[in-house]
Structures are given as C-alpha cells and as structure tokens.
Chains A and B, each alone.
Chain A
Amino acid sequence: MVERSTKALVKRALARRELTLMALLVILLVPISIRSPQFLSPSNVNRILNDMAILAIVAIGQFYVILSGGIDLSVGSVIAFTGMACGMLNEAHPTISPFVLLLVGIAIGFLMGLFNGVLVAYGKIPPIITTLGTVNIYRGMTFLLSGGSWVTAHELSTAYIAFPRNTFLGISYLLWIAFAALAVFYYFGRFTRTGREIYAIGGNPTAAKFVGVNENKIRVIVFLVSGTLCGLAGALWTARYASAVNEMATGFEMQAVAACVLGGVNFSGGAGGIIGVALGTLFLGVVTNALPVVYLSVFWQTFVQGLIILIALALNTISDQRKYKRMLAQRRA
C-alpha cells in the first residue's frame, strides 16, 4: 500500500484542479497565439509573469487564510498603507536602500496581519467581518498618513524604482521574490507541522481541537502570513508602478480570492494547494493580457474576472457534488 500510495498521491494531486487548469491554459493559448504570434514571445511572457508576480505573492497569503476557513478582505488596504509608507519614507530619505524599504513593508504588514488575527482568534469576530472593518480602517490610515497627496515617480529614488526591474540570471528581482515566496510557502503547507495544522483547522476545527491543535494560534498565523506578504507586496507595488497613490490596490482582494478559487481551493477551508494558486494566478494573468488580443478593451477586465470567479466556483461545487455522490456510493460498500 505504501508504494502505491506515493504514485496515487501524485495522481490525485494532478487529477485535481491543477491538471485541468494547465489543460485550460493550453487550450486558451492556442487560439491566442495563432491570432497574435507575439503573445508567446519571451518578452511578452516575461511581461505577463511580472504583471502577475505581486498578485501571486498576495494570493499565497489569501490561500492560507481561506484554507483555515476564513477570508482576508483587507489585503488591498494593507498593500496601500505599506506602499504609501514606503513611498513616503523613500521620499524623505532618498538614499535609503530598497532592501530596508522591503523590510519596513514586511514589518508594517506583519503588524496589520497581527491585528486582524488577534481580532479573529481572541475577539471571536468572524474573519469576513473583521477584515471588512480593517479594510476600511487601513485605507483610512493610508489617507491620514499621506494627507491625501500622492508620491510621484520623481519623488522616489531611482534605486527603489529600479529594484523590481533589476535582473539576476535574466529574471527580474520581482519574479525571483514571487518564486521564492511560492517555494517557501509550498514547503510551509506541505512539510511543516503548522501547515498540516492549518489544513486540519480548516477541514474540521472541532476535530483539530480534540487532538490539541491550538486554534487561536493557527488563526493568528494565517493572518500574519497574509499581512506580511501583503506588506512585501505593498513595498514592491510602489516601486513597480513608480508611485504611491491612496487608492492603490483597491479591490485587489477579489483578484487574490479569484486566483485561489480558480486554483481549486475549497472555499469552506481544508483543501487546496500552492501549485493550484500559482496556476490560478497565471490563468488570470493570461486572460487579462489576452483581452486586447481579442479586441476587448481593458474595461472588460473586471467583468471577465468576475465571470471567471463564478465559473470556477460553479465548477468546484459540481466536482464536490460528484465527489459526494461517489462517496455515498462507496460508503455503502
């Protein structure tokens, strides 16, 4: 049974959403690349990947929150606040190293995630309510911090703006960071005790409690992960878009949720994986970038994204129902 189970594990992992998504991507790419051969050119692929890198980082955090059975609606505002803070810090100290700015972003995101997590775990406020509150609080804090003004490109140091674009082995720092985050958190989910406990809490909080899993600790950790990654994303955002605007990343939580849902993450918690989330992000990126190719204006972007979320959710539900029916049949055995 041991031998078979390794193979079966691989099979099961692929038979899930991951494989379907890859197939869909290929199906989508064929007509697009016929219509516009440049779409799959190295430079365009590189551009798409760079476009999606920040979303991927944020989606990882969102994934762990959803996995635990919650949702983090505050991600856009965390990005905005940290992005604004980094921008203003850079404006005040033009010589500051981009690395320091990243660390500042991470630290601020950590604290904001901690606040979310403590409210959820110890205040016993449902995640959706907590983050519905903090999404506004954090956005309000952004306006208070900036006094309503922007940080524009020429107020930022060239080193900071160049940071995400700098390359190592032909790949941008931004992409390296995204890949590193994916790798670290893939490992975190699969091979750490905490990761396993997040799956358990999301799958069945009561049963997890009965084996001594510290539910409060887990709930704080998932929001810490999400907040920290959003902090990192905020610092990168300001550099990549060469400005810090009060409204930045508004509605970004929906994209992060979309990437997770597309990646087959169970909305009620307990099931899903980082590979799915990465593919879900990539899928969103391809669709968004392909819109001009099929002569649809960028204004269709949110419309199409919403449609994709609904379709993905419907697919998840259908496959869950199928699974449930199979399960019922098997139980009778």
Chain B
Amino acid sequence: MQEPALLEVHNLTKIFPGIKALDDVHLKLRCGEVHALIGENGAGKSTLVKVLTGVYIPTSGTITLEGEEISFKNAIDAQQAGIVAIHQEASMFPELSVTENIFMGHHLRNPKTLKLDWKAMKRETEALLEKMQLDIDPDTLVKNLSVAKRHMVEITKALSLDAKLVIMDEPTSALTAREVEDLFRIVRSLKESGKAILFISHKFDEIFQICDYYTVYRDGQYIGEGRVGEDSEDSIINMMIGRSIDQLYPDHTPTRGREILKVENLAQLGAFKGISFSLHEGEILGLFGLVGAGRTEVARTIFGIDRAVEGTITFEGKPFVPKSVMHSMRQGIALVPEDRQRQGLVLPMSLTHNISLPVLKVLSYKGMVTKNKVEKAYVLEHGQQMEIRAAGYHVDAETLSGGNQQKVVLAKWIGTKPKILILDEPTKGIDVATKAAVHQFVCDMADQGVAIILISSELPEIIGMSDRILVMHEGRQTAILDAREATAEVVMRYAISTVHEEACYG
C-alpha cells in the first residue's frame, strides 16, 4: 500500500534567535494515512505544525505538496492549499453559531446580490454534520457545546475547507474516553475519504489504536519513522527519550505513618459527593478519574478555595473546616494547581519573587521584605533542589519552558514545608526528563513523611506512583484500591463504571 506522498518535508530547518527549533527534519505524509508525530515537549512538533500552517516561515528546506514545492506566506495561504490544523485549544467564536463558525473566513455569498447566503451555509453545514454522523444543531451557539463537540465542529470546518491534510495537535487531551472513541470514528472516516491526518499525541495507546505510521523527533531533530504495527511501544519510546522506560517511575517503599487527614462523606453541590478517605504521613494517594470526575474540585475544597456543603474533614485528629487558602496553608496543606500558567505562576514576575510568594510572611519582618539575602538564599536552596534551568532567578517566569515552569511551581511549594501536598496533574504537558524529575521529587517528599495526594489522568503514572488509588466517576467515589494489586484494567473499569462499589478503607 505504498501510496504516493501527499506532503513531503525535506531538510527543513527553522532557527529562532539563539535556538535551532528544527534541525534538518523530514516528514512524509500519504493520502489516507493517519500519521503520528511523536516527541517530547520541545522536540519541535509544534514548530513544524506552525511551519506547515504558514505561521512560521522556515529558515531553509523544502515542503512539497502533491509534488509541487510550496511556500506559505501566511496562514490563509496554507488553508487555501488544503492544510488545516485543529488546535490544542479550540480557536472558535463562542458567541456564534456552529454554521457561523464553520464558514468564518469563507462565507458563501449569493452570486447576484452578493449578500451572505445563510440558507446555503446552513444546508451545507447540515450536510457536513450528517456526513460525520454528528448530532449537532447548526444553530447552536458554540459556547453551549462540550469541548469534544467543539473539536468535532473544528474538524467539520476543516472539511468545509476541503482540506487535504488535517493536523490534530493533542486532540484528545480534554476528552473523555467515549468522546475519544467518537473522535477516532471521525478520524477513520476522514482516512477512508483519502485525507491525510497528522496526529500529535503523547498518549501511546491512542497512537497504537488509530495511527498507521509514525515519525519521531527529538530536540528538533529527525530520529526515525516506521509503521506503527511493526514496532513495539518500547522501541518507539526509546527513540523518543533515548533511554529505557524502566527509569520512568522511581522506587518508593510505602512507609505509612500516622493518619494525618480523614475525609468523610465530603460533598459539594454539582461537583462531587460521598467522598471518604484517609491519608497517612509518607503515603501517596492517587486520585484517578476521567475529566469531569470531580478530582480537582475535591482538592480545591480541602485547600479551602471552595466550600463543602456536607461532610467532615479531620486534620491531625482535630476537626478541620477549611475557610480560606490562608487557613489551609497555615495547617500545612499545599496545592500545586493543574494549570501552572494560569494558577501556578505570576508570569511577569521573577522566579525569585514567585518562589518566595507563599512564604513572604516568614521571610518578612513586620511586613517588610528587606532581608534580601535571606530571600535569595531561600530561593536558591529550593530552586537548586528542583534543578531549575534558567538564565538566573531574576528572569521572569514567562520566559521559561513548561517543564521548568512546573519546577518553579514545585520549588515554590516545598519551601512551605507542607504536611500534605496535593499535586493536580503535575506532569501534564511536560517533557519526559522533567516528568522523571517530578516523579523523583514526589517520592522524595513521601519518603520525608509528607502525605501526598496525586491527581493524574495518566493511568500508568497513577499506578506507578501511588500506594493507594481513589477512583472517581462523575463526582462519586467508586473505589479505593491498593496500587500493588491494581491493574490498569481494574482502575479504568471503576473510572468509567456507574456502579457504586463498596469503598474499602485501607
């Protein structure tokens, strides 16, 4: 089935001031093929997408589409050539209808009156949605659609543009398992109709499920390519990270100290109910569930951001009603939030000031932060502990890469000497090396007796890191499992099942 290439990238290099983002890379896409582009963060995947969609102009190298060499000056050029990208964060107009979104930028006009022909556009939209077997009303406002359906609408838009190549950048990161299935069904039908799909994902199970071919980049360089069915996961991962997968999860011997936190029947309106668990010093409790299961909300409630409507929390044997973040922090609870850019860091602030922010009270005297040396020493101590790579601690947090930003957030919290550390998706969207560093950090903290609640959507991470796993499904607690005995299948079954099993307390 050696189809002729639809799009070929040869010796492509893109240099930004001081950095080679892409170094002599290759890529070959065929019609009717789902092609996985694999690589760590910073491998150059996003840069390549931006070159292909006309956002960046390559420094050197060639791109050929259907045998003809092309060069895009802007994004519209790329769209007209038939290359459409569906972005990580859907770029849509929430206040406009599905039809209006789909035809944004290429409205149909009545040839005589030159008026916009909404009837025709609606008909067209209905036909496209029909073709994709999507149950979406063309008049619905996009803001009323779920994330998954927005993705579908974006794909529909790509179809309306008669795209030859559809680029999907982490399309499943915000979807539930069932929505992913829906998406894959559409990907398959795109494939059957002869489109080429460039699929960028960190999730190997998805790649093995849907992709035919793969190409691996590492540090902006082309590493290799192959047919997905013919190579093992381990060999692809090895190409990607250049080391063995065994190192991914550090050894952690569970040493369970005294009980520090006991949560009973905790509930919050519309978010979760009936959450009961205990947490011990030195223990890592994994909190698993699909998007929308209410894990983050549980964490926020314990941390005092949201209030519980029901249930009790006992902290170190005493009843504890978290009133505010300050209150919880004083008790020794720390929360590393999911979205480091929006919730974790003050981006236009220096690393020093970011790291010292939660402990200003300790570092200041009567409200004055004049002990500059003390602050610097403090920041240096915790920054070095996390091995932050930056030009210095005076640079603003916004200049760092995602992985290093996460290290700053972690450095910021270890200094508060927490007794309970809640980590919400600590490794989401960061490269494998930083991921390993984060895992090591979590285990080190647990070994020092810190009780840890680890929220993650990655099943291997939950199973590999936790001592016990609390599984949630749509706001309900479905199980507490011993991680040594839990298998991925069992955990996933609890995460998707609606059956409420008797929770076992360990």
Q: Which residues of A come within 8 Å of B, CB atoms?
A: 1-2, 4-5, 8-9, 12, 191-197, 199-200, 203-204, 206-214, 266, 270-271, 326-333
Contacts and interface: CB of A to CB of B under 8 A. Distances in A.
Given A210-B305, A327-B399, A331-B402, 10 more contacts: A191-B370, A193-B364, A196-B369, A199-B353, A203-B348, A207-B343, A209-B305, A211-B329, A331-B399, A333-B18
B364 to A, nearest CB: 5
A332 B47 contact: yes
A292 to B, nearest CB: 40
Contact of A193 (B18, B361, B412): B361
Given A199-B349, A212-B326, A204 B357 contact: no
13 contacts: A1-B380, A4-B392, A191-B370, A193-B367, A196-B356, A204-B345, A210-B325, A214-B326, A271-B348, A329-B17, A332-B16, A332-B21, A333-B401
Contacts of A196: 353, 356-357, 360, 369
A207 B340 CA distance: 8
Contacts of B343: 206-207, 210
A207 B344 contact: yes
A196 to B, nearest CB: 6
Given A197-B360, A330-B399, A210 B335 contact: yes
A270 B367 CA distance: 20
Contacts of B360: 193, 196-197
Contacts of B349: 199-200, 203, 270
A324 B469 CA distance: 41
Nearest to A8: B394
Contact of A212 (B44, B358, B393, B398): B358
Contacts of A328: 16
B346 interface: yes
B412 A327 contact: no
Contacts of B324: 212
B114 interface: no
A2 B380 contact: yes
A199 B325 contact: no
A197 B326 CA distance: 14
Nearest to B344: A207
Given A199-B349, A212-B358, A12 B367 contact: no
B42 A192 contact: no
Output the residue of B21, B349, B356, B370 with the most chain A CB within 10 A: B349
Q: How large is the interface on B (under 10, 10 to 19, 20 to 34, 35 or more residues)?
A: 35 or more
Nearest to B383: A1
Given A197-B360, A266-B348, A327 B17 contact: no
B347 interface: yes
Contacts, number: 118
Contact of B346 (A192, A208, A329): A208
Interface in B389-417: 392-394, 398-402, 412
Contacts of B376: 2, 5
Interface of B: 16-19, 21, 42, 44, 47, 220, 305, 324-326, 329, 335, 337, 342-349, 352-353, 356-358, 360-361, 364, 367-370, 376, 380, 392-394, 398-402, 412
B341 to A, nearest CB: 8
Nearest to B346: A203
Given A203-B348, A331-B400, A209 B325 contact: yes
B177 to A, nearest CB: 29
Given A203-B347, A207-B346, A194 B353 contact: no
Contacts of B329: 211-212
B293 to A, nearest CB: 21
Contacts of A210: 305, 325, 335, 337, 343-344
Contacts of A199: 346, 349, 353
Contacts of B337: 210
B367 A204 contact: no
Given A196-B353, A212-B325, A270-B348, A5 B17 contact: no
A331 B397 CA distance: 11
3 residue pairs, one from A and one from B, having the closest CB atoms: A329-B16, A203-B346, A212-B325
Contacts of B220: 332
Contact of B17 (A12, A204, A270, A326): A326
Output the residue of B305, B344, B348, B349 with the most chain A CB within 10 A: B348
Contacts of A332: 16, 19, 21, 42, 44, 47, 220, 401
Contacts of A203: 346-349
Contacts of A191: 368-370
B394 A9 contact: yes
Contacts of A8: 392, 394
A266 B44 CA distance: 32
Nearest to A200: B346
B352 to A, nearest CB: 8
Contacts of B412: 211
A329 B347 contact: no
A200 B357 contact: yes
A203 to B, nearest CB: 4
B367 A194 contact: yes
A5 B391 CA distance: 9
A328 B17 CA distance: 10
Contacts of A5: 352, 376, 392-394
A206 B409 CA distance: 14
Nearest to A203: B346
Contacts of B402: 331
A147 B335 CA distance: 57
Output the residue of A9, A197, A207 with the most chain B CB within 10 A: A207
A229 to B, nearest CB: 19
Given A194-B367, A210-B335, A328-B16, A204 B401 contact: no
Contacts of A192: 364, 367-369
Contacts of B361: 193
Contacts of B358: 211-212
Nearest to A271: B348
Nearest to B394: A5
A193 B360 CA distance: 6
A195 to B, nearest CB: 8
B19 A211 contact: no
A207 B341 CA distance: 8
Nearest to A199: B349
A107 B311 CA distance: 47
A329 B369 contact: no
A203 B360 CA distance: 17
A92 B356 CA distance: 53
A1 B420 CA distance: 31
Contacts of A9: 394
